[in-house]
Amino acid sequence: MRNIFKFLFASLFVVTFSCVDSENTIDTVLDYETGAVLRTISVNNAVLNSSDSMSTFSVEVEEQDEADGALFLQVNVYSQMKDLSPDNGNSSTDFMYVRSIPASDFATGPVGLPRGTIEVTFGDAAAAMGLTANGTDYVPGDVFVIGLEVELTDGRTYDWTSAAGIITGGFFSSPFKYNALLTCSPMDGDYVVDMQDSYGDGWQSDGIEVNVDGVIQLASICGYWGDFVPTGCVPVAFNSGGVSASATISIPLGAESAIWTYYGDAWPGEVSFQIYAPDGSLVYDHAQGAGGSGLLPVAVCAL
């Protein structure tokens, strides 16, 4: 089956148009220039810990060209910074060269094509872009974009700028670039979560979950609706004037990650909470009525 699809689909399409316009699909399928693709097999890790220079982005890819891999010379790796935290300035960069991985580092995969793992450390990517740990170049929540370029023995190259839509999505899944989210190792110590419910009956959800290296801790005010009692909630007596409570989330020294998630509430207009770091600084303030659920942008990096 691989040979059947070889010329119709496994090449990088550069569509040209004849002097006579046509809307027939077959015209765009048959009028192309063959090239090469890097099909995504699996993204092994798409999170980079900015506290660890050896934290590694990893993706497994499969190379295919018109000669079934015989033209494959190497993969050139680039990185780009997307600054998503404008409050501390804009450190976004263009794509910068990081390293090259020769075809000899790839093995023959199950369908007879070169298959290998592309890895880029946080330290190498940051150095290539000239970024330093000065507190303004990058912060958790920013994104490193890893770009790949396949180079053939005849000098041709193909990357994210030359890949047509039929290649970047669908079966071939060959985008040539990937986003890697920046995180950091969390500051150790006790984080205080102050919680409020203006109606006075507690929260109707699991509240706030913190995943510290796979160990779950919860912060919530116990609700009073049937049998709904969240695990780890702080019990309070009903008060028509509103209730409040505090919970402590402990992060041990040496923890690699802390992921904060808010599960929302059946009555979001009644809920508010604040999160304080071990040094007492306010790191997140959820206003009453803010609603919403999902990941919380709580990132206090270890010194």
pLDDT tens digits along 132-151: 887 779 988 899 999 999 99
Average model confidence (pLDDT) across the chain: 83
Q: pLDDT tier at 204 (50, 70, 90 boundaries)?
A: confident
The pLDDT value given to residue 38: 93
Do residues 163 and 195 both lie within one domain?
no
Do residues 177 and 201 both lie within one domain?
no
**28 exposed, middle or buried (CB, 10 Å; 0-12, 13-18, 19+)?**
middle
CA dihedral of residues 222, 226, 230, 232 (deg, nearest 10): 60
Do residues 176 and 65 both lie within one domain?
yes
Residue 296 has pLDDT above 50, yes or no: yes
Higher per-residue confidence, 267 vs 85 = 267
Higher per-residue confidence, 223 vs 185 = 185
Do residues 43 and 163 both lie within one domain?
yes
Q: Is residue 17 part of a domain?
A: yes
d(Cα 164, Cα 155) in Å, to the nearest integer?
Answer: 20
Do residues 140 and 17 both lie within one domain?
yes
Q: Which of 181, 210, 234 is the last residue of a domain?
A: 181
CB 83 within 8 A of CB 130: no
The pLDDT value given to residue 45: 92
Higher per-residue confidence, 209 vs 224 = 209
The pairing of strands 177-183 and 47-49 is parallel
Q: Which of 131, 151, 181 is the last residue of a domain?
A: 181
What is the residue type of 24?
N
**244 exposed, middle or buried (CB, 10 Å; 0-12, 13-18, 19+)?**
middle
Do residues 235 and 256 both lie within one domain?
yes
Tell me what the mean pLDDT of segment 156-174 comes to. 66
Do residues 49 and 24 both lie within one domain?
yes
Q: pLDDT tier at 155 (50, 70, 90 boundaries)?
A: very high
Higher per-residue confidence, 130 vs 6 = 130
User: Which stretch of 28-32, 68-72, 79-83, 109-113 has the lowest confidence by average pLDDT?
Assistant: 28-32
Tell me what the mean pLDDT of segment 97-104 comes to. 98
pLDDT digits (tens, 9 = 90+) for 224-281: 554 555 566 787 777 888 999 999 999 999 998 898 999 988 888 899 999 999 999 9
Residue 221 has pLDDT above 60, yes or no: yes
Q: Is residue 140 part of a domain?
A: yes
Q: Is residue 302 part of a domain?
A: no
Expressed as residue numbers, the domain containing 43 is 2-181
Q: Is residue 88 part of a domain?
A: yes
Cα–Cα separations (whole angstroms), residue 179 to 47, 182, 251: 9, 10, 28
d(Cα 8, Cα 5) in Å, to the nearest integer?
Answer: 5
The pLDDT value given to residue 14: 36
CB 236 within 8 A of CB 202: yes
Do residues 173 and 196 both lie within one domain?
no
The count of domains in the chain is: 2
Q: pLDDT tier at 156 (50, 70, 90 boundaries)?
A: very high
Do residues 147 and 195 both lie within one domain?
no
Do residues 92 and 32 both lie within one domain?
yes
Q: Is residue 38 part of a domain?
A: yes
- Among candidates 235, 286, 231, 233, which has minimal Cα distance to 262? 286
Q: Is residue 300 part of a domain?
A: no
Do residues 10 and 131 both lie within one domain?
yes
Q: Which of 151, 181, 211 is the last residue of a domain?
A: 181
Do residues 255 and 167 both lie within one domain?
no
Q: What's the N-to-C CA distance of the chain in angstroms?
A: 55
Q: Is residue 45 part of a domain?
A: yes
Q: Is residue 255 part of a domain?
A: yes
In the block, which residue shows the tokens 């506290």?
51
